Amino acid sequence: MTWGGKIARFYAGRITERALMKASDTEEPRKDTEQKCEAYYYLGMAYLLGVGTGGKSASPDTARAEQRFRECVATGVYDFGEYWRALGELNRLHGM
């Protein structure tokens, strides 16, 4: 299964946050960082939108979303849209 397929499985409630983070691991350093960037962003969005484990609705958790967006930005993967979208969400959350 592709990396993108694993992200889709997370949003469909077929795998957990822990499983998504484990799936992002790879022995190729650059690819590992890129996949972590994506994983942190999509996890942040899940918290922001209130998407719970198992595809069930949950209450939005902006504190956890912010944490994941900060982790995304900390990867420094400037050439990925997820990096810039995470930065935008952080700015939005802080009214900048």
Instruction: Report pTM.
Output: 0.91
Q: What is the mean pLDDT of the chain?
A: 91
Buried b (16+ CB within 10 A) or exposed e, 56-76: eeeeebeeebbebbebbbebe
Task: Name the residue among 34, 45, 30, 27 with its Cα closest to residue 3.
Answer: 34
Q: Is the predicted pLDDT of residue 96 greater than 70, yes or no?
A: no
Per-residue confidence band for 56, with pLDDT thresholds at 50, 70 and 90: low
Per-residue confidence band for 64, with pLDDT thresholds at 50, 70 and 90: very high
pLDDT tens digits, residue range 24-52?
Answer: 999 999 999 999 999 999 999 999 988 76
